[in-house]
Amino acid sequence: MTGLTLARRSAGHHKLRTALAVAGVAVIGALNFDMLMLSRGLLLSFADLMTSVNFDVRVVGGAGFPMSRRSVTGAKKLVEDIRALPEVEEVVMLRAEQAAVVVPGSRERSITLVGTTESAARGTWTLIKGDDLSTSHATGANDPPVIVSERLATMYGLSPGSLLRIRVTPPGSASAMPVFDGQIVGLADFKFESQEEYTVATTMEGFRAVSGGDTRDEADLLLVASKPSVEADRTVAAIAQLRPDLRAYSNQQVITEFNRTGFTYFRQISLVLSVTTTSFVVLLVATLLTVSVNQRLGEIAALRAIGISQGRIAAMLAWESALLVGFGGMSALPIGWALATGLDRILRSLPGLPQRLHFFVLEPRAIALHFLLLTTTALVSAVYPVWLAVRLPIAATLRREVVS
């Protein structure tokens, strides 16, 4: 009779104890699985968001963090110079300003107005209905073409062909800007739009018109697409030679910087909680097995007396530990995923976070680590109960069982 067969019979004989142990491991394992998904979830989600946009280099003004809002001066000439580089396929200029949508009979709704030289989306937004910002729609300053967020369109019942009244509200300005009617040409899903944010995109000419004829030769951000055969680092180096006062970052550099500075907290908290939950599983299973061994001293001594070897007894307890942890660990996966989905929904409601950003991401690495930790847990949990069983004095234990 193998150790696995003995373990299965023991687990089947003590059904309630087995069920409680599996349930405990499943609950604690679900929390541990969530921590594993959290440890890299935000980084993976952010990397996926960055690479989903078909631009691999970002150019910002001045030094500092890659998302700096310092303006890029001399933007028009810089765009021409970057476009002339042999490494570059396309360059897009972006400007952003706080604005408000003016709807008769309703309060003004704050929006982010984005001016861009990008006429067709390369991943910055996903067009849902209508047309992109092609030049054929740029009919003049009085009716600049706009693409609006689908959520904003749903809120006010807007569709392509509707007019959207927009007023720019620059921070720190005491004067009221005039209201302009934007001609809606399309509805889109903006990838970097947060839960509480509504985005409207227009051409750079339309942006200047809505901003009161702003003629500053500036941009908040330049997006650069390298040619397919060119590495982003080569493009970054080429741009740095053009304008040493600016900072160019590849997508990978931005992701690395965020991983170093922005996601450290989540890695630390997930590590601490993973160690804690794993320790709980070890204590739970080890305690249950130890209690089980103490209750079955006579049974174990009898098995030894009829010729069952120490190795087989040790294998039985190791298999018991493996069965408890294994079934509990398998049950932990759906429980953990359901819990992570709810927690992710709560965390994503924090202000300023893009809707597409997720804190918990299911990846093969998290599943592999989950089962690696469970395997280690099963082995460690069985050490003390096995030690008790193999050093059990057979004759003395049987005599004590008969007397009692």
Structure token pair of residue 55:
């631009």
- pLDDT given for residue 84 in this prediction: 93
| Of 397, 372, 399, 371, nearest in space to 313 by CA | 397
| Contact yes or no for 164/181 (Cβ under 8 A) | yes
- Distance CA(97)–CA(169), nearest Å, equals 8
**If you average pLDDT over residues 139-165, what whole number do you get?**
83
| Contact yes or no for 56/235 (Cβ under 8 A) | yes
C-alpha torsion 21→27→32→34, nearest 10: 160
Average pLDDT score, the chain = 83
| Contact yes or no for 31/336 (Cβ under 8 A) | yes
pLDDT digits (tens, 9 = 90+) for 180-230: 888 899 999 888 888 788 999 998 888 888 877 777 888 888 999 999 989
Neighbours of 142 (CB within 10 A): 10
**If you average pLDDT over residues 315-325, what whole number do you get?**
86
Structure token pair of residue 215:
């003629």
Burial 171-198 (b: 16+ CB within 10 A, else e): eeeeeebeebbbbbbbbbbbbbbbeebb
360: Cα within 13 Å, side-chain hemisphere: 21
- pLDDT given for residue 367 in this prediction: 92
- pLDDT given for residue 402 in this prediction: 65
Burial 48-76 (b: 16+ CB within 10 A, else e): ebbeebebbbbbbbeeeebeeeebbeebe
- pLDDT given for residue 69 in this prediction: 58
Say whether pLDDT at 135 is over 90.
no
Say whether pLDDT at 113 is over 80.
yes
- Distance CA(114)–CA(111), nearest Å, equals 9
Q: Does the predicted TM-score (pTM) go above 0.85?
A: no
357 phi and psi, to 5 degrees? -85, 135
pLDDT digits (tens, 9 = 90+) for 52-104: 888 999 998 865 554 455 788 888 999 999 999 999 999 999 998 888 888 87
Identify the helix (H) or strand (E) that includes residue 73.
strand 72-73
Say whether pLDDT at 238 is over 90.
yes
35 phi and psi, to 5 degrees? -65, -35
- pLDDT given for residue 1 in this prediction: 58
Confidence of residue 138 (pLDDT cuts 50, 70, 90): very low
- Distance CA(238)–CA(236), nearest Å, equals 5
- Distance CA(262)–CA(33), nearest Å, equals 22
Instruction: Give the highest mean pLDDT range of 8-12, 176-180, 327-331.
Output: 327-331
Q: Name, in order, each residue with C-beta under 8 angstroms of 395's C-beta and a sequence gap of 6 or more.
A: none
Task: Please indicate whether residue 11 or residue 253 has the higher confidence score (pLDDT).
Answer: 253
| Contact yes or no for 186/131 (Cβ under 8 A) | yes
Instruction: Give the highest mean pLDDT range of 67-71, 109-113, 254-258.
Output: 109-113
Confidence of residue 401 (pLDDT cuts 50, 70, 90): low
| Contact yes or no for 96/114 (Cβ under 8 A) | yes
Say whether pLDDT at 141 is over 60.
no
Neighbours of 367 (CB within 10 A): 14
**What angle do the packed helices 297-305 and 264-295 form, to 10 degrees?**
70
- pLDDT given for residue 339 in this prediction: 94
Structure token pair of residue 213:
């004829």
DSSP state of 137: G
SS3 258: helix
Rg of the chain in Å (alpha carbons): 31
Domain ranges of the chain: 3-50+263-403, 63-244
137: Cα within 13 Å, side-chain hemisphere: 22
Instruction: Give the highest mean pLDDT range of 122-136, 165-179, 293-307, 340-354.
Output: 340-354
- pLDDT given for residue 168 in this prediction: 85
- Amino acid, single-letter form, for residue 182: G
- Distance CA(310)–CA(313), nearest Å, equals 5
Say whether pLDDT at 256 is over 90.
no
Identify the helix (H) or strand (E) that includes residue 97.
strand 88-101
- pLDDT given for residue 353 in this prediction: 79
- Distance CA(398)–CA(404), nearest Å, equals 10
- pLDDT given for residue 142 in this prediction: 60
**If you average pLDDT over residues 27-40, what whole number do you get?**
89
Say whether pLDDT at 346 is over 80.
yes
| Percent share of the chain, pLDDT over 70 | 91
| Contact yes or no for 67/249 (Cβ under 8 A) | no
Task: Please indicate whether residue 17 or residue 252 has the higher confidence score (pLDDT).
Answer: 252
Binning the chain into helix, strand and coil, the percentages to the nearest 5 are 55, 20, 30
